Amino acid sequence: MLKRIGIVFFISLFLISCGQQSALKKREKTANNANKDNIIIGFAYPKERVDGQSLKEGVSLAMEQVNAKGGIDGRKIQLIERDDEDSTDQSLLIAQDFSKDYRMHLAITHISSHAAVPAAATYEFSNIIMMNPSATSLRLIKPSYKNIFRIIPNNELMGSYLANYARQQGYKNIIIYYARTEYGRDLANAFEKYAKIMGLNIVDRYSYLQQLNSYSIALENWKILHKFDAIFLAGTVPEAAIIVKQARYLNINVPIFGADALNSDALIDIAGKAAEGVVALTTFSPNKPTPIVQQFTQEFYKKFGINPNQISALGYDSFKLLAYGIESTHSEDATKIATFFRQMKLWEGVDGAIVFDKTGDLKDNGNLSKVIVKDGKFQDYL
């Protein structure tokens, strides 16, 4: 019986591999043969999440603008949308489905690191460019990958930026509180590494499980046992908002700061007045006085009735950058476009200057800036 199961398993693997190879050959053929069909871009995001909707708004505005001008080389762009449910399993299934669609050479996929990292290998193997808008884990980009790009600074860049901020603020004794996730561990590791290099003392480091309603035990222990200047919070909303609220309830009034995942209106909605003074990172400000940002902000507001946020801007830039690659190479071929992106000296988006290194990551953290909760809303940190 075991022998029979083993034979069936390996036959299944063989058939899956054959199917992917067949799609790969068809994909190469469609990339090299000019046609008049729509250009297909895959789009996978968590439809039920607020940040997923923000990403969709940015992508849809960009597509509307490109298609309104006639598309690229006379061809309109069409999205194939899938809901990844912010799930690792669902993201893997979507990547498999996209890999079998030989018309698809490009995709914008997966907000979160835990969804993006496992799926990346499938896009790479299938010769589909994965343009990732917001997953910051270091494991997303590998030296052997040729087709994986992201337009947000990774956790290493964010960790070094935030450690330098802490040093400048004079924080000498810091608590690290991080989500027990791909994102949380990765960011905590990077911050701790650079904080120690800069001579800062990490008083304690502790992880928490998501989807809990109370984090007061760790907070109370720190209040009793340790003296500290600040809390570095490496997590996402809603849990991070609950932590902020409970810390202030316990009269822990030291500064709380973190990366771009804290930059969410939901932090303020949940934590209320307790969120005042929280510092986060961003790659985008609607107040930036450059023509490209002001035009984007005005057109976004006209379409949706609200100002764009960071994730909207990242979605917009992801789509516009892929369109730029297609237009510049006059091709959908992933290999040609990936080579073009790596050789590209600079592309100016609403999030700032995009310059990739040889691996597909951004070269530096120059697009990062800080925001602070002030008077009940996130404002530029001055």
Distance of CA 367 to the CA centre of its chain: 14
Q: Are residues 94 and 35 in the same domain?
A: yes
> What is the bridge-based pairing of β-strands 256-257 and 352-354?
unpaired
How does DSSP classify residue 356?
B
pLDDT tens-place string over residues 213-249: 778 899 999 999 999 999 999 999 999 999 999 999 9
Q: Is the pTM of this model over 0.85?
A: yes
Q: Are residues 58 and 162 in the same domain?
A: no
**Domain annotation covers residue 6:** no
CB of 154 within 8 A of CB of 141?
yes
> Residue 1: pLDDT above 60?
no
**Domain annotation covers residue 95:** yes
Q: Are residues 198 and 133 in the same domain?
A: no
Q: Are residues 169 and 47 in the same domain?
A: no
Examine the fold and report which residue of 240, 266, 282 is the final residue of a domain before the chain moves on. 282
**Domain annotation covers residue 373:** no
In angstroms, what CA-CA distances link 282 with 118, 260, 306?
Answer: 25, 5, 18
Say how many C-beta atoms besides its own lie within 10 A of residue 249's C-beta: 11
CATH of residue 38? 3.40.50.2300
Q: Are residues 107 and 221 in the same domain?
A: no
pLDDT tens-place string over residues 157-212: 999 999 999 999 999 999 999 999 999 999 999 999 999 999 999 999 999 987 77
Q: How many domains does the chain have?
A: 2
H helices of 210-304, in order, are 216-225, 239-249, 265-271, 291-304
**Domain annotation covers residue 12:** no
**Domain annotation covers residue 364:** no
- Angle between helix axes 216-225 and 239-249 (nearest 10 degrees) is 40
Q: Are residues 305 and 316 in the same domain?
A: yes
Mean pLDDT of the chain: 91
**Domain annotation covers residue 378:** no
> Residue 330: pLDDT above 70?
yes
**Domain annotation covers residue 77:** yes
Examine the fold and report which residue of 236, 251, 282 is the final residue of a domain before the chain moves on. 282
Q: Are residues 25 and 143 in the same domain?
A: yes
Between these two residues, 77 and 31, which has the higher pLDDT value?
77
pLDDT tens-place string over residues 5-37: 345 434 444 555 565 565 556 656 555 545 568
- Residues with Cβ within 8 Å of 264's Cβ and at least 6 positions away in sequence, in order, are 50, 51, 237
Using the structure block, give the residue that is written with the tokens 């299938």. Answer: 126
Indicate the helix (H) or strand (E) that contains 349.
Answer: strand 347-349
Examine the fold and report which residue of 256, 282, 308 is the final residue of a domain before the chain moves on. 282
Here the tokens at position 336 are 């040609």
Backbone Cα Rg of the chain: 22
In angstroms, what CA-CA distances link 358 with 13, 334, 368?
Answer: 32, 15, 21
Give dist(CA 148, CA 215) in Å, integer: 36
**Domain annotation covers residue 167:** yes
Q: Are residues 304 and 322 in the same domain?
A: yes
Q: Are residues 328 and 247 in the same domain?
A: no
Distance of CA 301 to the CA centre of its chain: 23
Range of the domain at 182: 156-282
Q: Are residues 222 and 74 in the same domain?
A: no
Q: Are residues 255 and 107 in the same domain?
A: no
Torsion of CA 53, 55, 56, 59, to 10 degrees: 160
pLDDT tens-place string over residues 33-72: 455 689 999 999 999 999 999 999 999 999 999 999 999 9
Q: Are residues 173 and 133 in the same domain?
A: no
